Structure 1
Amino acid sequence: MDALLRCTRQITAAPKGIVAIDTPAAAIATRLRSAGLAPTDPMAREFRRVLVRSAALARFASGVVLRPDDLDLPVDGTTATEFLWRSGVVVGVRVDTGLERGLGPEDRVTSGLDGLADRLRSARDAGARFALWSVWTGLAPDGLSSLTVNSQAAARFARTCQTAGLVPVVRVGARMPDGPQRARSAALGAALLSVVGHLEDLEADLAATVVNTVHTGVRAFADSPLAVLPAHLGGVALNVAPGAPPPPDAPWPIVFYVGREVTLPALLAWGGRPSSVPAAADALAARLERLADPRSGTEPVGAATITVLTPRNARRGPE
């Protein structure tokens, strides 16, 4: 467990954060087309190789999320996992397998528990040290059964993850339908509370657990859905969001979690041209620096504005 705690501290070490480059096949194909490139698997793998080689990850990423089949992606005579580890970056992998229909017509349940232990052991053998699970969060006020089923699955994932020697990163709010902000905030708070309750029921070590979620922009920590998270949680990774500074008095370390907001500009700068690899690296670095630089405040990324999480506005709790 000491190794899990050390790994948790490493991936929640502000001002760095977690960078996800595990875009699903369908989504990466769409992005390749938007960049005028062939939407093929070899092209997608080459782009991920460009990202892994970028020095920006070593400078600004505490952790990088890879696809399971990219853990052994060849990079400069070694694997992507080994390349990142040599750069001081912890490697993670997503292990849920998507969504299944739930009890109600609009309910969904995150799938992937079948064969999970074997997949986690394989990921650890390949060099991964943390794993991700995305929780479905419905907005229906009477969706208690869906809330319970999804929270139980997340807790089983976390417990199995720690048994296999990996730090669990539980994503809550990433899979949530659109709706009124008040309904989304209420659903997020209920889901966070339910997930933490089931984690404790299964005796998962919360100090070696990271929750990835969104912040609704409430200034006072006591009014935020994040307030339901216990002080002894290992850390929180917040998705970047327009104009939503994190609460200044949070009891746990906060880092950023980002994906296409930084990888899509890199893809457009690269364009499949070997001569443009440095431009792709520069585009990635510029956007990650805005997240990590305490002088930046909020900075535009494309048409959006992202919130910077830094040691000054994301106070680390006691270790």
Structure 2
Amino acid sequence: MNVQDLMETAKSLVANNKGLLAMDESNPTCNRRFAKLSIPQTEESRRAYRELIITTPSLSEYISGVILYDETIRQHKKDGTSFIKVLSDAGIITGIKVDIGAKDMAGHPREKITEGLDGLRDRLKEYFQMGARFAKWRAVITIADGIPSRGCIEANAQSLARYAALCQETGLVPIVEPEVLMDGVHSLSQCSEITEEVLRTVFNQLYTQRVMLEGMILKPNMVLSGLTCSQQESVDEVADATVNCLSRVVPAAVPTIAFLSGGQSAELASARLNAMNFRFKSRSPWALAFSFARAIQQPALEIWQGKEANVSKAQQALLHRTKCNWAACQGVYNAAMEGVGT
């Protein structure tokens, strides 16, 4: 493990108020999104869509790193140039999703455990040799009657920590993603309580597994009421609840908190991130950044529709969303920015 390289990569991933673009959807997930828009669910369609994303002009002005999927990291542009080279030439750091998905957890009905530790050391070495310099592992926690259980939280926390230790051994910065899902009727206070418990458990395991906090990135959910909860708090209330929760459990040694979007609308994710930076940036011990997937990609996907003629307009929409989130990282995003460049 090269400590200095890990620390420098972690800092580079959010330098100049930039963030991360997550385009690490598994093939089944990508196909489901394509199906909703009647886009052919083929490898070539997935390749063409990913080429659209990574060749977006000026993407590197707002995005420092891109998270890929195993299929994606091996793909090429139509002219034969590897995606890794395209990103490297643009000054964008390549990342890779390395878990193999959340599966039903034995003995814990309605709960999931993320799998993929078997053989992970060898896979990480291969990805590093291919050019990846950071990785991602996602755990999912559901709030409902009687759950999450301690067993589910502890099992996922241990897997995240073991993954992170293996990443750092290999030279990859681990993105640690414990996601408390938005689905449900839970209140903001319930989400805050569970998020705090999850993060406290995760960091206990990171310490136990001797993960260097300065060489990792935390990718948490924002603290939100459930999607079907009758009370939905204001942008500022969400910002306060989220940062207050994180302040209780995330060590200052962690350089960056890069939020997931988790199904929020593109505009709302930007507004909430902006409120956090506007209100807390000057005194936050960590950079408050973004690692969004749908909240950046979805508008572009809906414009593209699988048609070559729509590529340029789709790229404009994608760039617009990255610029909005770059502004949000500075606390200068506002609703007047919407509609520009789309």
Structure 1 residues 90 and 40, CA, compared in 2 at 3 Å: closer, same or farther? same
Q: Residue in 1 aligned with 2:123?
A: 119
Q: Partners of 2:148 and 2:37 in 1: how far apart? A: 43
Q: Residue in 1 aligned with 2:138?
A: 134
Q: Deviations over 1:93-138 (max 9, x none)?
A: 1111112332321222111111111111111111111110112324
Q: Partners of 2:119 and 2:166 in 1: how far apart? A: 11
Contact 2:18 2:62 in 1 (8 A): yes
Structure 1 residues 301 and 171, CA, compared in 2 at 3 Å: closer, same or farther? farther
**For structure 1, which segment, 141-150 or 163-172, has the greater mean C-alpha deviation from structure 2 after superposition?**
141-150
5 Å matches for 1:45-84? 45-75=47-77, 76-84=79-87
Q: Give me the TM-score of the superposition, normalised by structure 1.
A: 0.87
Q: Partners of 1:155 and 1:255 in 2: how far apart? A: 22
Question: Could you tell me how far 1:179 is from its partner in structure 2?
Answer: 3.7
- Other structure's SS at 1:132 match: strand
Specify which structure has the higher proportion of strand. 1
Q: Partners of 2:326 and 2:151 in 1: how far apart? A: 39
- Other structure's SS at 1:231 match: coil
1:195 aligns with one of 199, 202, 206: 202
Q: Residue in 2 aligned with 1:147?
A: 153
Q: Percent identity over the alignment?
A: 26
**Residue identity in the other structure for 1:68:** D
Q: Partners of 1:298 and 1:202 in 2: how far apart? A: 43
Question: Could you tell me how far 1:85 is from its partner in structure 2?
Answer: 1.2
1:235 matches 2:256: yes
Q: Residue in 1 aligned with 2:31?
A: 29
Q: Deviations over 1:255-278 (max 9, x none)?
A: 111112221221222233323221
Structure 1 residues 298 and 92, CA, compared in 2 at 3 Å: closer, same or farther? farther
Count the aligned residue pairs. 302
Structure 1 residues 194 and 36, CA, compared in 2 at 3 Å: closer, same or farther? same
Q: Partners of 1:105 and 1:184 in 2: how far apart? A: 20
Q: Deviations over 1:16-73 (max 9, x none)?
A: 1110112222222232233332222211111111111112421211110111121131
Q: Partners of 1:47 and 1:218 in 2: how far apart? A: 33
1:96 matches 2:99: yes
Which portions of structure 1, spanning 4 or more consecutive aligned residues, are displaced by more than 4 angstroms?
174-177, 298-302
2:191 aligns with one of 184, 188, 194: 184
1:261 matches 2:295: yes
Structure 1 residues 299 and 15, CA, compared in 2 at 3 Å: closer, same or farther? farther
Contact 2:304 2:313 in 1 (8 A): yes
Question: Could you tell me how far 1:227 is from its partner in structure 2?
Answer: 3.0
- Other structure's SS at 2:135 match: strand
Question: Could you tell me how far 1:222 is from its partner in structure 2?
Answer: 6.8
Gaps of 5+ in 2: 224-237
Structure 1 residues 158 and 69, CA, compared in 2 at 3 Å: closer, same or farther? same
- Other structure's SS at 1:170 match: strand
**Residue identity in the other structure for 2:240:** R
Q: Deviations over 1:187-231 (max 9, x none)?
A: 111111111111011111000010001222142677324531000
Q: Partners of 2:131 and 2:48 in 1: how far apart? A: 20
Q: Partners of 1:25 and 1:132 in 2: how far apart? A: 16
CA RMSD for the aligned pairs?
A: 2.2
Contact 1:12 1:255 in 2 (8 A): yes
Q: Partners of 2:304 and 2:154 in 1: how far apart? A: 44
**For structure 1, which segment, 210-219 or 162-171, has the greater mean C-alpha deviation from structure 2 after superposition?**
210-219
Q: Deviations over 1:273-293 (max 9, x none)?
A: 323221121111111111112
**Residue identity in the other structure for 1:121:** K
Q: Partners of 2:306 and 2:253 in 1: how far apart? A: 45
Question: Could you tell me how far 1:142 is from its partner in structure 2?
Answer: 7.0
Q: Deviations over 1:291-319 (max 9, x none)?
A: 112432357879xxxxxxxxxxxxxxxxx
**Residue identity in the other structure for 1:268:** E
**For structure 1, which segment, 109-118 or 74-83, has the greater mean C-alpha deviation from structure 2 after superposition?**
74-83
**Residue identity in the other structure for 2:91:** G
Contact 2:303 2:310 in 1 (8 A): yes
1:291 aligns with one of 320, 325, 329: 325
Contact 2:324 2:333 in 1 (8 A): yes
Gaps of 5+ in 1: 303-319
Q: Give me the TM-score of the superposition, normalised by structure 2.
A: 0.82
Specify which structure has the higher proportion of helix. 2
**Residue identity in the other structure for 1:284:** L
